Amino acid sequence: MARTNLFLAAAICWLIATPAVAEICPLPGETLNYTIFNDDDDVGGLELAFNQNGEQATVNVSMKILVRILMVPAFRFKHSSTEVWSRDRLKTLTANTSDNGDKFAISMKQIGDQHEIKSEDGLNTHKGTRLTELLWCEGAARGGAIISTLTGNVSDIPIDFIGREDIELNGRTIRTRHYRFVRKKRVGNFWYDEDGFLVKLTYPTRYYSVASFVLQDQGN
């Protein structure tokens, strides 16, 4: 499960996004918490905390994964990031990741109509609003260039709408909208509830298991 940040598996698990926070992605009224599974094993959690202050919105991301084999820790992943948005523009992003002991750090800031990204690969600039890898909002899943909060690299990953679908979640059936994407020949799936928030994500890992992010019941 190396380098599975939301998507975040994230996309990392990855994971993905808040374009136009105020207009496309109204912030939820509370923190979103997801349980992370590797096949059927509970291996960690993802927390998304939101704060709205006028036209500025802040998204704080925290994710931890611990995979054990025969009770022995085999993989550890820890990620934290902060996104600051002003209306429909990503103003700044800072992210720190420990991927099984390998450390990564990136920072990004808006300069005019471009974003300056500093990562392990040096300094790069990209034009236009960027999405991060946490596609918690359905409005963000409909297209756009994505910046990896692990490496700072930017890529376009087409995401297709499959249709409406009823799924079982936390012991109850809910109506969702189903999306699908292909990344490195692996097929990932997103399901959003009627409010447009991510309730489930699945993505096959390079180790022939399936990583899943499942939204916890509100208030848990």
pLDDT tens figures, 75-130: 899 999 998 888 667 788 899 999 888 898 989 888 888 888 888 878 888 776 55
pLDDT at 196 over 80: yes
Exposed, middle or buried: residue 12 (CB in 10 Å: 0-12, 13-18, 19+)?
A: buried
pLDDT of the residue at 115: 81
Nearest in space to 213 (alpha carbons), one of 10, 59, 74, 3: 10
Beta bridge partners of 57: 52, 85
What is the residue-averaged pLDDT of the chain?
80
pLDDT of the residue at 9: 37
Backbone angles phi, psi at 50, to 5 degrees: -125, 145
More confident of the two residues 32 and 141: 32
Residue 111: other Cβ atoms inside 10 A: 9
pLDDT of the residue at 101: 87
Beta bridge partners of 29: none
pLDDT tens figures, 184-195: 788 989 999 998
pLDDT of the residue at 121: 79
Measured CA to CA, the distance from residue 9 to residue 181 in angstroms comes to 13
pLDDT tens figures, 140-167: 776 566 677 777 777 777 788 999 999 9
Mean pLDDT of 23-42: 85
Mean pLDDT of 179-204: 89
Please provide the DSSP assignment of 37-93 as one string.
EETTEEEEEEEEEEEEETTEEEEEEEEEEEEEETTEEEEEEEEEEEEEEETTEEEEE
Residues 191/177, Cβ–Cβ less than 8 Å: yes
